[in-house]
Amino acid sequence: MTELDFNPLAGARPVGETARILNALREEHRAFRSTFGRGFWVLTRHEDITAAFQDPELFSSSAVNALDPEPRYRWIPEMLDPPEHTAWRRLLRPHFTPAAVREREERIREHCASLIAGISRTGHCDFVTDFATPFPSVIFLELMGLPVERLETFLTWERAILHGPPTANAERVAAMGQVTAMFAELIELRRAEPGDDLVSHALTWRLDGEPIPEQDLLDLCLLLFMAGLDTVTSQLSYAFWHLAAHPEDQKALREDPGLIPAAVEELMRAYSIVLPGRKLTRDAEVAGCPMKAGETVMLPLASANRDPRAFADPEKVDLRREHNRHLGFATGPHRCLGSHLARTEMRIALEEWHRAVPAWRLSPDREALEHAYGLMGLDTLPLVWEV
Ligand code: HEM
Protein backbone atom coordinates (compact mmCIF):
# COMPACT_ATOMS: atom_id res chain seq x y z
CA MET A 1 0.00 0.00 0.00
CA THR A 2 1.41 3.41 -0.98
CA GLU A 3 0.87 6.52 1.10
CA LEU A 4 1.31 9.92 -0.56
CA ASP A 5 0.75 13.51 0.52
CA PHE A 6 -1.62 14.10 -2.41
CA ASN A 7 -3.54 17.37 -2.12
CA PRO A 8 -6.21 17.53 -4.84
CA LEU A 9 -7.26 21.09 -3.95
CA ALA A 10 -5.98 24.16 -5.73
CA GLY A 11 -7.02 27.78 -6.04
CA ALA A 12 -5.12 28.75 -9.18
CA ARG A 13 -3.17 26.32 -11.34
CA PRO A 14 -2.37 26.52 -15.07
CA VAL A 15 -5.27 24.94 -16.98
CA GLY A 16 -4.71 21.19 -17.37
CA GLU A 17 -2.31 20.90 -14.42
CA THR A 18 -4.70 18.81 -12.26
CA ALA A 19 -5.15 16.30 -15.10
CA ARG A 20 -1.35 16.13 -15.56
CA ILE A 21 -0.82 15.42 -11.84
CA LEU A 22 -3.49 12.69 -11.93
CA ASN A 23 -1.97 11.18 -15.10
CA ALA A 24 1.39 10.76 -13.42
CA LEU A 25 -0.16 9.25 -10.27
CA ARG A 26 -2.27 6.77 -12.28
CA GLU A 27 0.71 5.40 -14.16
CA GLU A 28 2.57 4.77 -10.87
CA HIS A 29 -0.30 3.58 -8.66
CA ARG A 30 -3.50 1.68 -9.38
CA ALA A 31 -4.69 2.97 -6.00
CA PHE A 32 -3.03 4.82 -3.13
CA ARG A 33 -3.80 6.43 0.21
CA SER A 34 -3.48 10.18 0.52
CA THR A 35 -2.42 11.44 3.95
CA PHE A 36 -3.82 14.90 3.16
CA GLY A 37 -6.53 16.18 5.54
CA ARG A 38 -8.18 13.28 7.37
CA GLY A 39 -6.77 10.82 4.82
CA PHE A 40 -8.60 9.14 1.92
CA TRP A 41 -8.06 6.51 -0.76
CA VAL A 42 -7.75 7.34 -4.45
CA LEU A 43 -8.60 4.96 -7.31
CA THR A 44 -6.95 5.98 -10.56
CA ARG A 45 -8.03 3.61 -13.34
CA HIS A 46 -11.14 3.61 -15.52
CA GLU A 47 -11.95 -0.03 -14.75
CA ASP A 48 -11.71 0.33 -10.95
CA ILE A 49 -13.53 3.66 -10.86
CA THR A 50 -16.36 2.25 -13.02
CA ALA A 51 -16.65 -0.79 -10.73
CA ALA A 52 -16.84 1.47 -7.64
CA PHE A 53 -19.65 3.59 -9.12
CA GLN A 54 -21.54 0.41 -9.95
CA ASP A 55 -21.27 -1.11 -6.47
CA PRO A 56 -23.27 1.15 -4.11
CA GLU A 57 -23.54 -1.65 -1.57
CA LEU A 58 -19.79 -1.35 -0.84
CA PHE A 59 -19.22 2.24 -2.02
CA SER A 60 -21.91 4.26 -0.24
CA SER A 61 -22.85 7.79 -1.31
CA SER A 62 -23.36 8.86 2.32
CA ALA A 63 -20.15 10.89 1.75
CA VAL A 64 -19.60 12.17 -1.81
CA ASN A 65 -16.55 14.31 -1.05
CA ALA A 66 -13.63 12.12 -0.02
CA LEU A 67 -12.24 14.96 2.10
CA ASP A 68 -15.41 15.15 4.20
CA PRO A 69 -16.13 11.67 5.62
CA GLU A 70 -18.76 12.87 8.17
CA PRO A 71 -20.85 15.41 6.26
CA ARG A 72 -23.36 17.48 8.22
CA TYR A 73 -25.68 17.62 5.21
CA ARG A 74 -27.57 15.06 3.08
CA TRP A 75 -28.04 16.11 -0.52
CA ILE A 76 -30.95 14.32 -2.23
CA PRO A 77 -30.70 12.18 -4.33
CA GLU A 78 -26.88 12.29 -4.57
CA MET A 79 -26.16 11.16 -1.00
CA LEU A 80 -28.80 8.42 -0.76
CA ASP A 81 -28.13 4.74 -1.39
CA PRO A 82 -30.53 2.26 -3.02
CA PRO A 83 -33.35 1.44 -2.41
CA GLU A 84 -34.17 4.91 -1.00
CA HIS A 85 -32.27 6.50 -3.88
CA THR A 86 -34.17 4.48 -6.48
CA ALA A 87 -37.53 5.86 -5.35
CA TRP A 88 -36.29 9.45 -5.70
CA ARG A 89 -34.84 8.83 -9.16
CA ARG A 90 -38.25 7.52 -10.25
CA LEU A 91 -39.86 10.81 -9.17
CA LEU A 92 -37.21 13.02 -10.75
CA ARG A 93 -36.62 11.17 -14.03
CA PRO A 94 -39.62 12.52 -16.04
CA HIS A 95 -38.31 16.08 -15.62
CA PHE A 96 -34.90 15.26 -17.11
CA THR A 97 -35.67 12.91 -20.03
CA PRO A 98 -34.52 13.72 -23.59
CA ALA A 99 -38.16 14.58 -24.43
CA ALA A 100 -38.44 17.00 -21.48
CA VAL A 101 -35.20 18.70 -22.58
CA ARG A 102 -36.39 18.91 -26.21
CA GLU A 103 -39.37 20.93 -25.00
CA ARG A 104 -36.94 23.50 -23.60
CA GLU A 105 -34.59 23.49 -26.57
CA GLU A 106 -36.09 26.48 -28.35
CA ARG A 107 -35.86 28.63 -25.21
CA ILE A 108 -32.27 27.43 -24.60
CA ARG A 109 -31.27 28.41 -28.14
CA GLU A 110 -33.01 31.77 -27.96
CA HIS A 111 -31.28 32.68 -24.67
CA CYS A 112 -27.93 31.46 -25.99
CA ALA A 113 -28.18 33.43 -29.25
CA SER A 114 -29.22 36.62 -27.47
CA LEU A 115 -26.26 36.45 -25.06
CA ILE A 116 -23.87 35.86 -27.97
CA ALA A 117 -25.39 38.73 -29.96
CA GLY A 118 -24.40 41.06 -27.11
CA ILE A 119 -20.82 39.77 -27.11
CA SER A 120 -19.90 39.04 -30.74
CA ARG A 121 -19.54 42.69 -31.85
CA THR A 122 -17.10 43.61 -29.07
CA GLY A 123 -14.16 41.50 -30.27
CA HIS A 124 -13.34 40.28 -26.76
CA CYS A 125 -14.95 38.83 -23.65
CA ASP A 126 -14.31 37.02 -20.46
CA PHE A 127 -15.94 33.79 -21.54
CA VAL A 128 -16.63 32.59 -17.98
CA THR A 129 -18.28 35.79 -16.74
CA ASP A 130 -19.95 36.96 -19.94
CA PHE A 131 -21.25 33.67 -21.33
CA ALA A 132 -20.50 30.36 -19.55
CA THR A 133 -22.03 31.61 -16.29
CA PRO A 134 -25.23 33.39 -17.38
CA PHE A 135 -26.10 30.90 -20.16
CA PRO A 136 -26.81 27.68 -18.19
CA SER A 137 -27.61 29.47 -14.92
CA VAL A 138 -30.61 31.33 -16.33
CA ILE A 139 -31.97 28.13 -17.92
CA PHE A 140 -31.59 26.36 -14.59
CA LEU A 141 -33.31 29.14 -12.62
CA GLU A 142 -36.24 29.01 -15.05
CA LEU A 143 -36.48 25.23 -14.60
CA MET A 144 -36.60 25.66 -10.82
CA GLY A 145 -38.90 28.70 -10.85
CA LEU A 146 -36.28 30.95 -9.20
CA PRO A 147 -36.02 34.70 -9.91
CA VAL A 148 -33.41 35.29 -12.63
CA GLU A 149 -32.67 38.82 -11.32
CA ARG A 150 -31.14 37.29 -8.17
CA LEU A 151 -28.57 35.28 -10.12
CA GLU A 152 -25.58 37.22 -8.70
CA THR A 153 -26.62 36.47 -5.10
CA PHE A 154 -27.20 32.80 -5.93
CA LEU A 155 -23.76 32.57 -7.52
CA THR A 156 -22.12 34.09 -4.44
CA TRP A 157 -23.73 31.38 -2.27
CA GLU A 158 -22.93 28.63 -4.74
CA ARG A 159 -19.26 29.67 -4.91
CA ALA A 160 -19.01 29.73 -1.11
CA ILE A 161 -20.34 26.14 -1.05
CA LEU A 162 -18.39 24.63 -3.92
CA HIS A 163 -15.33 26.83 -4.47
CA GLY A 164 -14.37 27.74 -0.92
CA PRO A 165 -11.04 26.50 0.45
CA PRO A 166 -11.36 23.55 2.89
CA THR A 167 -10.72 25.93 5.80
CA ALA A 168 -13.85 27.95 4.97
CA ASN A 169 -16.26 25.44 6.55
CA ALA A 170 -18.26 28.07 8.46
CA GLU A 171 -18.81 30.08 5.25
CA ARG A 172 -19.85 26.91 3.42
CA VAL A 173 -22.42 25.90 6.04
CA ALA A 174 -23.71 29.51 6.25
CA ALA A 175 -24.19 29.63 2.47
CA MET A 176 -26.05 26.30 2.50
CA GLY A 177 -28.29 27.84 5.17
CA GLN A 178 -29.02 30.82 2.93
CA VAL A 179 -29.87 28.61 -0.05
CA THR A 180 -32.14 26.48 2.12
CA ALA A 181 -33.93 29.54 3.57
CA MET A 182 -34.50 30.89 0.07
CA PHE A 183 -36.00 27.55 -1.06
CA ALA A 184 -38.19 27.38 2.06
CA GLU A 185 -39.70 30.72 0.99
CA LEU A 186 -40.14 29.48 -2.58
CA ILE A 187 -41.90 26.32 -1.36
CA GLU A 188 -44.35 28.44 0.62
CA LEU A 189 -45.04 30.57 -2.45
CA ARG A 190 -45.58 27.53 -4.69
CA ARG A 191 -47.86 25.84 -2.16
CA ALA A 192 -50.08 28.91 -2.38
CA GLU A 193 -49.73 29.39 -6.12
CA PRO A 194 -48.29 26.43 -8.10
CA GLY A 195 -46.51 27.06 -11.41
CA ASP A 196 -45.01 24.76 -14.07
CA ASP A 197 -41.60 24.51 -12.35
CA LEU A 198 -39.84 21.63 -10.63
CA VAL A 199 -40.55 22.86 -7.09
CA SER A 200 -44.31 23.06 -7.81
CA HIS A 201 -44.24 19.51 -9.23
CA ALA A 202 -42.25 18.20 -6.26
CA LEU A 203 -45.02 19.42 -3.95
CA THR A 204 -47.40 16.91 -5.60
CA TRP A 205 -45.05 13.90 -5.27
CA ARG A 206 -45.71 10.99 -2.91
CA LEU A 207 -43.20 8.57 -1.39
CA ASP A 208 -44.79 5.44 0.14
CA GLY A 209 -48.14 7.21 -0.26
CA GLU A 210 -47.04 10.26 1.82
CA PRO A 211 -46.18 13.80 0.68
CA ILE A 212 -42.44 14.55 0.73
CA PRO A 213 -41.31 15.95 4.11
CA GLU A 214 -40.27 19.59 3.87
CA GLN A 215 -36.67 18.87 4.96
CA ASP A 216 -36.28 16.32 2.15
CA LEU A 217 -37.61 18.81 -0.39
CA LEU A 218 -35.05 21.33 0.85
CA ASP A 219 -32.23 18.74 0.62
CA LEU A 220 -33.29 18.04 -2.97
CA CYS A 221 -33.40 21.74 -3.87
CA LEU A 222 -29.94 22.32 -2.38
CA LEU A 223 -28.43 19.50 -4.45
CA LEU A 224 -30.13 20.67 -7.65
CA PHE A 225 -28.92 24.20 -6.97
CA MET A 226 -25.31 23.01 -6.85
CA ALA A 227 -25.62 20.51 -9.69
CA GLY A 228 -27.38 22.97 -11.96
CA LEU A 229 -25.50 26.21 -11.42
CA ASP A 230 -21.83 25.46 -11.90
CA THR A 231 -21.30 22.27 -13.85
CA VAL A 232 -22.16 23.33 -17.40
CA THR A 233 -20.31 26.62 -16.78
CA SER A 234 -17.11 24.73 -15.91
CA GLN A 235 -17.45 22.20 -18.69
CA LEU A 236 -18.06 24.90 -21.30
CA SER A 237 -15.10 26.92 -20.04
CA TYR A 238 -12.71 23.99 -20.52
CA ALA A 239 -14.19 23.23 -23.95
CA PHE A 240 -13.73 26.79 -25.17
CA TRP A 241 -10.26 27.01 -23.61
CA HIS A 242 -9.30 23.95 -25.66
CA LEU A 243 -10.80 25.29 -28.88
CA ALA A 244 -9.14 28.70 -28.39
CA ALA A 245 -5.79 27.01 -27.94
CA HIS A 246 -6.35 24.59 -30.89
CA PRO A 247 -7.50 26.61 -33.94
CA GLU A 248 -7.52 23.46 -36.09
CA ASP A 249 -10.26 21.92 -33.90
CA GLN A 250 -12.18 25.19 -33.89
CA LYS A 251 -12.00 25.29 -37.69
CA ALA A 252 -13.20 21.68 -37.96
CA LEU A 253 -16.35 22.49 -35.94
CA ARG A 254 -16.99 25.69 -37.89
CA GLU A 255 -16.74 23.85 -41.21
CA ASP A 256 -18.74 20.80 -40.11
CA PRO A 257 -21.26 21.52 -37.30
CA GLY A 258 -22.33 17.87 -37.62
CA LEU A 259 -19.18 17.08 -35.62
CA ILE A 260 -20.41 19.00 -32.59
CA PRO A 261 -22.23 16.17 -30.71
CA ALA A 262 -19.13 13.94 -30.87
CA ALA A 263 -16.96 16.93 -29.93
CA VAL A 264 -19.07 17.54 -26.81
CA GLU A 265 -18.37 13.97 -25.68
CA GLU A 266 -14.66 14.19 -26.44
CA LEU A 267 -14.25 17.53 -24.69
CA MET A 268 -16.04 16.08 -21.66
CA ARG A 269 -13.71 13.09 -21.71
CA ALA A 270 -10.54 15.12 -22.01
CA TYR A 271 -11.61 17.76 -19.47
CA SER A 272 -13.58 15.98 -16.76
CA ILE A 273 -14.49 18.31 -13.94
CA VAL A 274 -15.91 16.23 -11.07
CA LEU A 275 -13.92 14.59 -8.25
CA PRO A 276 -16.63 12.37 -6.68
CA GLY A 277 -16.17 10.44 -3.45
CA ARG A 278 -17.68 7.41 -1.73
CA LYS A 279 -17.58 5.89 1.76
CA LEU A 280 -16.84 2.20 2.39
CA THR A 281 -19.61 0.27 4.12
CA ARG A 282 -17.29 -2.57 5.23
CA ASP A 283 -13.65 -3.69 5.19
CA ALA A 284 -12.62 -4.85 1.72
CA GLU A 285 -9.60 -5.27 -0.50
CA VAL A 286 -10.03 -2.87 -3.42
CA ALA A 287 -7.52 -2.55 -6.28
CA GLY A 288 -5.02 -4.42 -4.11
CA CYS A 289 -5.43 -2.11 -1.09
CA PRO A 290 -6.80 -3.03 2.36
CA MET A 291 -9.62 -0.51 2.81
CA LYS A 292 -11.65 -0.20 6.03
CA ALA A 293 -15.31 0.50 6.75
CA GLY A 294 -15.89 4.24 7.19
CA GLU A 295 -12.92 5.32 5.05
CA THR A 296 -13.54 7.47 1.99
CA VAL A 297 -12.42 6.92 -1.59
CA MET A 298 -11.93 9.55 -4.29
CA LEU A 299 -12.95 8.53 -7.84
CA PRO A 300 -11.39 11.28 -10.02
CA LEU A 301 -13.12 11.28 -13.40
CA ALA A 302 -10.21 13.14 -14.99
CA SER A 303 -7.94 10.20 -14.18
CA ALA A 304 -10.38 7.54 -15.45
CA ASN A 305 -11.03 9.43 -18.67
CA ARG A 306 -7.38 9.73 -19.66
CA ASP A 307 -6.52 6.13 -18.79
CA PRO A 308 -4.63 4.59 -21.73
CA ARG A 309 -6.08 1.19 -20.75
CA ALA A 310 -9.55 2.51 -21.70
CA PHE A 311 -8.86 5.05 -24.49
CA ALA A 312 -6.46 4.90 -27.43
CA ASP A 313 -4.08 7.87 -27.42
CA PRO A 314 -5.91 9.48 -24.46
CA GLU A 315 -3.89 12.71 -24.41
CA LYS A 316 -5.03 13.54 -27.93
CA VAL A 317 -8.33 15.41 -28.16
CA ASP A 318 -9.88 13.67 -31.16
CA LEU A 319 -13.20 15.33 -32.01
CA ARG A 320 -14.07 12.32 -34.19
CA ARG A 321 -13.39 9.74 -31.47
CA GLU A 322 -15.76 6.75 -31.66
CA HIS A 323 -16.95 4.43 -28.84
CA ASN A 324 -16.23 7.16 -26.32
CA ARG A 325 -17.20 5.44 -23.04
CA HIS A 326 -16.15 8.38 -20.91
CA LEU A 327 -17.23 8.79 -17.29
CA GLY A 328 -17.75 12.56 -17.43
CA PHE A 329 -21.27 12.08 -16.06
CA ALA A 330 -20.15 9.13 -13.84
CA THR A 331 -21.96 5.77 -14.17
CA GLY A 332 -24.07 3.45 -12.00
CA PRO A 333 -27.19 4.49 -10.07
CA HIS A 334 -26.06 8.11 -9.54
CA ARG A 335 -25.15 8.78 -13.17
CA CYS A 336 -25.89 12.45 -13.80
CA LEU A 337 -29.60 13.11 -13.97
CA GLY A 338 -29.02 16.38 -15.86
CA SER A 339 -26.88 14.84 -18.61
CA HIS A 340 -29.41 15.39 -21.44
CA LEU A 341 -29.90 19.01 -20.42
CA ALA A 342 -26.14 19.56 -20.05
CA ARG A 343 -25.37 17.97 -23.43
CA THR A 344 -28.06 20.02 -25.16
CA GLU A 345 -26.77 23.24 -23.63
CA MET A 346 -23.20 22.48 -24.67
CA ARG A 347 -24.20 21.52 -28.21
CA ILE A 348 -26.28 24.66 -28.66
CA ALA A 349 -23.50 26.86 -27.21
CA LEU A 350 -20.99 25.46 -29.72
CA GLU A 351 -23.44 25.79 -32.63
CA GLU A 352 -24.50 29.35 -31.89
CA TRP A 353 -21.02 30.58 -30.96
CA HIS A 354 -19.52 29.30 -34.20
CA ARG A 355 -22.33 30.83 -36.19
CA ALA A 356 -21.76 34.31 -34.73
CA VAL A 357 -18.14 34.66 -33.61
CA PRO A 358 -15.21 34.48 -36.05
CA ALA A 359 -11.97 32.65 -35.19
CA TRP A 360 -11.20 33.44 -31.54
CA ARG A 361 -8.07 32.92 -29.49
CA LEU A 362 -6.80 33.22 -25.94
CA SER A 363 -6.03 36.78 -24.94
CA PRO A 364 -2.25 37.19 -24.69
CA ASP A 365 -2.66 39.55 -21.70
CA ARG A 366 -3.78 37.08 -19.04
CA GLU A 367 -3.26 33.38 -18.44
CA ALA A 368 -6.39 31.27 -17.82
CA LEU A 369 -6.15 29.41 -14.49
CA GLU A 370 -8.09 26.46 -13.10
CA HIS A 371 -9.30 25.73 -9.59
CA ALA A 372 -9.97 22.26 -8.18
CA TYR A 373 -12.24 21.61 -5.20
CA GLY A 374 -15.12 19.08 -5.42
CA LEU A 375 -15.39 20.39 -8.95
CA MET A 376 -12.75 21.76 -11.31
CA GLY A 377 -13.31 24.94 -13.28
CA LEU A 378 -11.87 28.17 -14.67
CA ASP A 379 -12.26 31.51 -12.89
CA THR A 380 -11.63 33.56 -16.02
CA LEU A 381 -11.12 32.87 -19.71
CA PRO A 382 -10.24 36.06 -21.64
CA LEU A 383 -10.87 35.56 -25.38
CA VAL A 384 -10.26 37.91 -28.35
CA TRP A 385 -11.30 37.91 -32.04
CA GLU A 386 -11.32 40.31 -35.03
CA VAL A 387 -14.44 42.45 -35.61
C1 HEM B 1 -21.60 19.23 -17.94
C2 HEM B 1 -22.31 19.37 -16.86
C3 HEM B 1 -22.47 18.32 -15.80
C4 HEM B 1 -21.58 17.40 -15.36
C5 HEM B 1 -20.15 17.18 -15.84
C6 HEM B 1 -22.24 16.63 -14.31
C7 HEM B 1 -21.66 15.56 -13.65
C8 HEM B 1 -22.29 14.80 -12.69
C9 HEM B 1 -21.70 13.67 -12.01
C10 HEM B 1 -20.28 13.17 -12.24
C11 HEM B 1 -22.61 13.18 -11.15
C12 HEM B 1 -22.46 11.96 -10.24
C13 HEM B 1 -21.94 12.36 -8.88
C14 HEM B 1 -21.72 11.17 -7.98
O15 HEM B 1 -21.82 10.02 -8.42
O16 HEM B 1 -21.44 11.39 -6.79
C17 HEM B 1 -23.81 13.98 -11.28
C18 HEM B 1 -24.96 13.79 -10.57
C19 HEM B 1 -26.07 14.61 -10.69
N20 HEM B 1 -26.27 15.63 -11.58
FE21 HEM B 1 -24.95 16.31 -12.95
N22 HEM B 1 -23.51 17.11 -14.14
C23 HEM B 1 -23.70 18.15 -15.03
C24 HEM B 1 -24.85 18.89 -15.18
C25 HEM B 1 -26.00 18.74 -14.45
C26 HEM B 1 -27.18 19.56 -14.57
C27 HEM B 1 -27.33 20.73 -15.54
C28 HEM B 1 -28.08 19.10 -13.66
C29 HEM B 1 -29.49 19.57 -13.34
C30 HEM B 1 -30.03 20.64 -13.69
C31 HEM B 1 -27.48 17.97 -12.98
C32 HEM B 1 -28.10 17.22 -12.01
C33 HEM B 1 -27.51 16.16 -11.37
C34 HEM B 1 -28.18 15.42 -10.29
C35 HEM B 1 -29.56 15.67 -9.74
C36 HEM B 1 -27.26 14.45 -9.86
C37 HEM B 1 -27.47 13.40 -8.76
C38 HEM B 1 -27.99 12.14 -9.39
C39 HEM B 1 -28.18 11.02 -8.38
O40 HEM B 1 -27.59 11.06 -7.31
O41 HEM B 1 -28.92 10.09 -8.68
N42 HEM B 1 -26.22 17.79 -13.49
N43 HEM B 1 -23.60 14.97 -12.23
> In order along the chain (387 residues), what is the average pLDDT of each group of 10 residues?
87 90 96 95 98 98 94 93 97 96 97 97 95 94 91 89 74 90 94 94 94 94 90 97 97 96 98 97 97 98 98 97 96 98 98 96 89 88 95
CATH assignment at residue 101: 1.10.630.10
- pLDDT confidence of residue 166: 63
Closest residue CA from atom 21 of ligand 1: 336
**Closest by CA position to 222, among listed 259, 276, 268, 184:** 184
Determine the residue of 268, 336, 348 to mutate for testing ligand 1's pocket, defined as the one with the most ligand atoms within 8 A of the Cβ atom: 336
Say how many domains are in the chain: 1
Closest residue CA from atom 38 of ligand 1: 334
Determine the residue of 74, 146, 231 to mutate for testing ligand 1's pocket, defined as the one with the most ligand atoms within 8 A of the Cβ atom: 231
Distance between Cα 65 and ligand 1 center (Å): 14
Element (H, E) at 289: strand 289-291
**In whole angstroms, what is the distance from residue 222 CA to residue 75 CA?**
7
Residue 168 Cα to chain centre, angstroms: 21
Please give the C-alpha separations between residue 33 and each of 16, 25, 43, in angstroms, as whole numbers. 23, 11, 9
Closest residue CA from atom 30 of ligand 1: 228
Query: pTM of the full predicted structure?
Result: 0.96
**In whole angstroms, what is the distance from residue 334 CA to residue 38 CA?**
25
Distance between Cα 365 and ligand 1 center (Å): 34
- pLDDT confidence of residue 372: 87
With a Cβ cut-off of 6 Å, ligand 1 is lined by: 64, 77-78, 89, 140, 223-224, 227-228, 231-232, 235, 273-274, 276, 328-330, 334, 336-338, 341-342
Q: Which residues constitute the domain of residue 346?
A: 3-385
**Closest by CA position to 75, among listed 90, 60, 64, 87:** 64
Closest residue CA from atom 27 of ligand 1: 228
